[in-house]
Chain A
Amino acid sequence: MADGPVAELLLRRLEASDGGLDSAELAAELGMEHQAVVGAVKSLQALGEVIEAELRSTKRWELTAEGEEIAREGSHEARVFRSIPPEGLAQSELMRLPSGKVGFSKAMSNKWIRVDKSAADGPRVFRVVDSMEDEVQRRLQLVQGGQAEKLGEKERSELRKRKLLAEVTLKTYWVSKGSAFSTSISKQETELSPEMISSGSWRDRPFKPYNFLAHGVLPDSGHLHPLLKVRSQFRQIFLEMGFTEMPTDNFIESSFWNFDALFQPQQHPARDQHDTFFLRDPAEALQLPMDYVQRVKRTHSQGGYGSQGYKYTWKLDEARKNLLRTHTTSASARALYRLAQKKPFTPVKYFSIDRVFRNETLDATHLAEFHQIEGVVADHGLTLGHLMGVLREFFTKLGITQLRFKPAYNPYTEPSMEVFSYHQGLKKWVEVGNSGVFRPEMLLPMGLPENVSVIAWGLSLERPTMIKYGINNIRDLVGHKVNLQMVYDSPLCRLDAEPRPPPTQEAA
C-alpha cells in the first residue's frame, strides 16, 4: 500500500508518464491543492530511491482579487462610463457608485467623460465619446488566460502598480522515477521494537531511514568550569614533572612573608595602597618568626650575606601589616623557610596554583583577583641553563615550543628572565611567564645552605587560557557574570593540542 492515496495516484501517473511529471500540473489535473501533491512527493522521497524529485521554481503573473473582479466586470473607469446616461449624471451621485472615485478620474484622464460645472443642480457628468475600448479588462483577461507574455513589460508594470497584477514564485517538483521505483510501496517502520525482535518480523519489514543531518539530544549532565579544567591540566603537568604541591590555603598574609622575606624593600611601589589590599581587621600579623625576622631586618637595612643591603630603616610595624597576598611567592617563601629548617638539606621541586589579589584598576584583562601558577626547584648548583631547560620542558607540555628569554628585573630574583613564546595566531612574540633565580638575600636569611640555588617561574592561569580559547574579556571567563552556556559548551582542556582559531581578531 502506498503512503496515502495521493502518493499512490502520483506513483501510477509517474509509471504511465514519459520521463516525469510536474507537481503543479498533476495537482491541476487531479483537481487538488498543490500542497497535497508536494506532501506526497516528500513522503515518497523519505523512502529512499523510489522517486527522484527536483525542486523547480517558476515565476508567474497572477491577478489580484481586484484584478480578477476587473477581468470579470470591467475596469472602474469603464463601469463609470457605462453608468452615465446620455442626459448625464449628477457628479455627487456618480461619486456614490462603488467604482466612482477611481473610475471618475481615470475616465476623465482617458477623455471619455466631461464635467459641466454650470448645471443648475450642481456639477453634472456627460459622456464625451459614444463608445470606448476597456483595455485594462482586456489585458487582465489575457493574463488570466495564461498569456501574460503577450503584454509588454510597461503594460505589466502599470497593472502591477495599480495592484491588479502580482508576480508570484511557484515552487514545484519535477518528479521522475528513482532507481528503486515501484508502485507498490509498503509503510516503513520507524523503530525497532522488542516485539519485532521476539517475533522476528524485523526481517521482513522495511525501516524508515534516519536523518543523520539532524542533531542528537544532548545528555543531561554537569560541567566543569573551563578555567579550572585548565588548572587541573597544569597540576597534571607539574605532577608529571615530579613537582610537589605547596599549601597555599591562606589568602591572608603578613607583609613580612609577602614582601620582606622576599627582600622586597619596604618603600617598594608594590607595597603601596594603590597596588595591594591591606586589611583593617585583622590589621596585623600576631606572630612572626622573630629570629628569622631579625636576619631579614639586618639584610634589608645593613646588608650581609655578601650584599650591600638597601640601607634604610626597616620597620617591624610595616612587616606586620596584614594583606591579601599579592602573589603565591609568599607561600613559596614559607615552604622554602620550612625546608631550610630541615637538616640536612634535601632537594625539592615545588609548585602551586592559587588565587592572588591586586588592588588594580580593572579592565578587560585585569581583575582584582586571579590565579598564579608557580614552579620552584631548590638544589645544589642550579644554573640559569637549568632554569631555561625546565622552562622548555614545562612549556613543551603546554604545546609551546618556540621560546626566547629576555633579561628582566624582579625584586627577588637575580638573574631574572621573562619568557616569550611565538604566537602563531597573533603573529608575534607574547610574554608567557616570568622567571629567575631567587636572590641570596632571600634564601640565606632563611637558613638555606650557601651553595643551594633556587630557580623559580610564574605565570597567570587566566592569560594562557584566554589566549588558548580566544577570550578577549576576562569577565567572560571568571566570576559570577559568566554565561553558563559558555561553561556548558566548553571542550576538554588539552593543552598540547592545536587550539581552535580564535573567533575574533586578538586575544592578547
Chain B
Amino acid sequence: MPTVSLKRDLLFQALGRTYTDEEFDELCFEFGLELDEITSEKEIISKEQGNVKAAGASDVVLYKIDVPANRYDLLCLEGLVRGLQVFKERIKAPVYKRVMPDGKIQKLIITEETAKIRPFAVAAVLRNIKFTKDRYDSFIELQEKLHQNICRKRALVAIGTHDLDTLSGPFTYTAKRPSDIKFKPLNKTKEYTACELMNIYKTDNHLKHYLHIIENKPLYPVIYDSNGVVLSMPPIINGDHSRITVNTRNIFIECTGTDFTKAKIVLDIIVTMFSEYCENQFTVEAAEVVFPNGKSYTFPELAYRKEMVRADLINKKVGIRETPQNLAKLLTRMYLKSEVIGDGNQIEIEIPPTRADIIHACDIVEDAAIAYGYNNIQMTLPKTYTIANQFPLNKLTELLRYDMAAAGFTEVLTFALCSQEDIADKLGLDISATKAVHISNPKTAEFQVARTTLLPGLLKTIAANRKMPLPLKLFEISDIVIKDSNTDVGAKNYRHLCAVYYNKNPGFEIIHGLLDRIMQLLDVPPGEDKGGYVIKASEGPAFFPGRCAEIFARGQSVGKLGVLHPDVITKFELTMPCSSLEINIGPFL
C-alpha cells in the first residue's frame, strides 16, 4: 500500500479547516485511508540516523497516509484534498478538459526502433502553470509515487517532465546504440555517453534499481527535440537542458512504456492533478503522438465514460435499502457524478479520467457502500444452510496429534522450507536422490528447497534445546513436498508423521513401541496378512548400520524407523544417541 507524506498545515489549509489528529484519523478511516503515522522530518531523520543528524531538520508536522494501491488519484496532496472535499460535499468534482493550442500542436514522433524495447509513448502540455515550492515538490513527489506503484518501478511506464520553453518541437522518440547517445543528464555538469552513464549510475542508490530495464539491450530509448537536444533517456534519466524549476511556466510531459493502457492512465493522473495550477484551471493542452505506422493520436485522453447500474443491484449487493436518488448522491460524493435516469431505478454514473480503478459495476457498488458508511450497514446472517465436513487427511491428523501427545511425545512446528544441506548432505544423501522441489530466488540458504522429510526440523529443534532435561521425545505431523510429474504442477504434498527419541541410550525399543501404538490407534494389526504391518531389516544412509527397518503396512512401504547414524547426529550438532520414525499417513485414510 503506498504511503503519502503530507504537511499537516498545508493539508488543512487546502481542506479549508483544521482537524484534531483523532478527527482526521476518523475521516481517513471512513474514506478507506489510514493515517499511519504523525511525524516530522526531524523525527524521521533522528529515528534513522540519530539526533545529531536531525539537528536543524524541519519539525513541520507530517501526516503519513496509507492510500489504497489502486487509487492513483490520491497519491498527492492535490488529489487527496479534492477527493476528501468532494466526499464531504464541500466542492463539486472539477471537469477536466483537453484543449487545442492557439498555435501549433506539440508533436512527438515515435520511430520503429523503439518497438523492441519500449514501444509506447504519450504526451501532453500544462500551459501557464504557477508553481510554488510546495506545489513543485508535490509535482516531483507524485511522479516518484507513480513510478513506484502503477509504473512498476519504471518498468511499465516512465515519466519525463520538461520546461517546454527551453525546447523546440517536434520531438522524436527513438532508440539508439548506447554509444551514440550523448547528453548532459540531470544534476551533472558535463555530457556523458549512455554507456558511461550506465556505469556511473551503478553506484547511484536511487537510479541503480532501474538500470536492468534497458541494460542489456542493443538500443536504448531516447527522446530528442528538433535541435537534437536530449529530453530524456527513459526510463533512466532526463536531460539537464530541459529541467523544470519552480519558475517553469509551460511543461511538456512525456510518458514512455511497455504498457500503453498504464501510460495513458499515468499521463491522465499527472495532468488532472496539476492542471489545478494552470491559468485556465483544469484544462490541459493536447499533444499529438505519431506512431511508427503513421497513425497519429491526441493525448491526454481524459476520457469520461458512462456506466449504467440499477439501483436495486447496489442495494442487493450491499444489503441496504436506499432510494435511487440517495444512491446517486452517495456515488457523486465518491467523485462519480451520478444521476437517476430512465425508469427511475437506473443510475447513470460518469467515470472521470482520475478513476481508472473503476472497471466493473462492483467497483461502483463498493463506492456506494463506502459513502453509505461500512459501519452503518445492518449486519445480517446469510440463510445458507450447509453441513460441515472435515478434510479427511486433516481429520486423521488432528486425531493422531492428540494421541501422540498422550503417548508422551511433544509436538513441534518446524518450517516447510529449508536448505539443501538439511535434507541431503546432513542425512548422507545426494540432493538429486531427494526429488525435492527447488526455489529459484531464495534470499538465503534457509529457503533453497521444500523439505522432503520432517526429520531435519525435529533434529534442529533438539539442537536448539540441548539444555532441556533428557529424554527428549518429539513429534510433528505435517506436509513434505516431492516432485511428481503426475500432478498438474509437477509436485505433491505428503502428510508425514515423524517422531524422535533423544537420550543417553538410543531407545530403539521406545520408537518401535511408538510405532506399535500408532498402528494400534490406526487399527492396523501386526503381521503381513490382512493389511497388517510389519517391519523388515533395511538400511539407509541416515541410519546406523543394522539398526534400521522399513515399515510395511496395508501392503506398501510407508516409512522407516531406526537408530540415527552418528554422522547424522554430529552434523545436526547433537551429542547423544537418537532413534527416529517417519511414516506417510496417507495410506491409512
Contact = CB atoms under 8 A, between A and B. Distances in A.
A182 B316 CA distance: 88
Contacts of A485: 468
A224 B411 contact: yes
Contacts of B489: 250, 252-254, 282, 285-286, 322
B370 A407 contact: yes
Interface in A208-241: 220-225, 227-228, 232, 235, 238-239, 241
B437 A389 contact: no
Interface string B5-16: 000000000000
Given A280-B439, A383-B318, A488-B410, A409 B70 contact: yes
A368 B439 CA distance: 13
Contacts of B472: 484
A195 interface: no
A192 interface: no
Contact of A384 (B319, B409, B475, B490): B319
A202 interface: no
A225 B391 contact: no
Contacts of B405: 221-224
B479 interface: yes
Given A303-B359, A324-B439, A349 B465 contact: no
B493 A388 contact: no
Given A228-B401, A249-B493, A222 B407 contact: yes
Contact of B261 (A312, A405, A414): A312
Given A279-B440, A280-B439, A415-B362, A385 B377 contact: yes
Given A251-B493, A409-B70, A390 B388 contact: no
A435 to B, nearest CB: 11
Contacts of A116: none
Contacts of A416: 366
A145 interface: no
A392 interface: yes
A221 B406 CA distance: 7
A381 interface: yes
A310 B262 CA distance: 9
Among A282, A283, A414, A483, the most chain B Cβ lie within 10 Å of the Cβ of A414
A377 B360 contact: no
B293 interface: no
A286 B316 contact: no
B384 A244 contact: no
Given A279-B440, A306-B361, 16 more contacts: A222-B407, A222-B475, A223-B410, A249-B495, A250-B492, A385-B320, A389-B382, A390-B381, A406-B29, A406-B34, A407-B369, A415-B318, A416-B366, A441-B360, A480-B463, A487-B412
B488 A288 contact: yes
A347 interface: yes
A392 B382 CA distance: 12
A455 B388 CA distance: 17
Interface in A361-389: 367-369, 377, 379, 381-386, 388-389
Nearest to A355: B416
A384 B441 contact: no
Interface in A481-508: 481-485, 487-488
A294 interface: no
B382 A390 contact: yes
Contacts of B488: 254, 285-288
A252 B490 contact: yes
A415 B334 CA distance: 14
Given A369-B415, A379-B382, A453-B317, A249 B479 contact: yes
B554 interface: no
18 contacts: A222-B473, A224-B405, A238-B388, A243-B388, A245-B389, A279-B437, A355-B479, A368-B417, A383-B317, A385-B318, A385-B320, A389-B379, A407-B31, A407-B369, A415-B318, A479-B413, A482-B461, A487-B411
A244 to B, nearest CB: 4
Contacts of A305: 360
A276 B535 CA distance: 42
B18 interface: no
A473 to B, nearest CB: 14
A280 B491 CA distance: 12
A481 B386 contact: no
A247 interface: yes
B329 to A, nearest CB: 18
Interface string B356-379: 000111110110011000110111
A379 B370 CA distance: 23
Interface in A400-430: 404-409, 414-417
A439 B365 CA distance: 11
Nearest to A270: B69
B410 A484 contact: yes
Interface residues of A, number: 100
A388 B491 contact: no
Interface string B430-443: 00000001111111
B441 A278 contact: yes
A246 interface: yes
Nearest to A481: B464
A359 interface: yes
A480 B414 contact: yes
B362 A359 contact: no
A407 B413 contact: no
A273 interface: yes
Contacts of A45: none
A357 interface: yes
A393 interface: yes
Q: Which 8 A-B pairs have the closest CB atoms?
A: A385-B319, A383-B319, A407-B32, A282-B490, A409-B68, A415-B366, A222-B405, A280-B440
Nearest to A353: B394
A307 interface: yes
A277 B374 contact: no
A232 B388 contact: no
Given A224-B405, A405-B374, A379 B319 contact: no
A92 interface: no
Among A250, A384, A439, the most chain B Cβ lie within 10 Å of the Cβ of A384
A133 to B, nearest CB: 66
B450 interface: yes
A322 B490 contact: yes
B287 interface: no
A453 B409 CA distance: 45
A129 B248 CA distance: 108
B100 interface: no
Contacts of B29: 404, 406
Contacts of B234: none
A350 B252 CA distance: 54
A246 B392 CA distance: 10
Contacts of A235: 390, 394, 398
B239 interface: no
A437 interface: yes
Interface in B327-385: 359-363, 365-366, 369-370, 374-375, 377-385
Contacts of B205: none
A408 B68 contact: yes
Nearest to A371: B413
B483 interface: yes
A383 B316 contact: yes
Contacts of B270: none
Contact of B440 (A278, A407, A414, A440): A278
Given A307-B360, A312-B259, A390-B381, A285 B413 contact: no
B152 interface: yes
Contacts of A384: 317-319, 369, 374, 377
Contacts of A307: 359-360
Contacts of A439: 360, 362
Contacts of B483: 281-282
A249 B450 contact: no
Nearest to B70: A409
A244 B388 contact: yes
B411 A223 contact: yes
Contact of B408 (A221, A283, A309, A369): A221
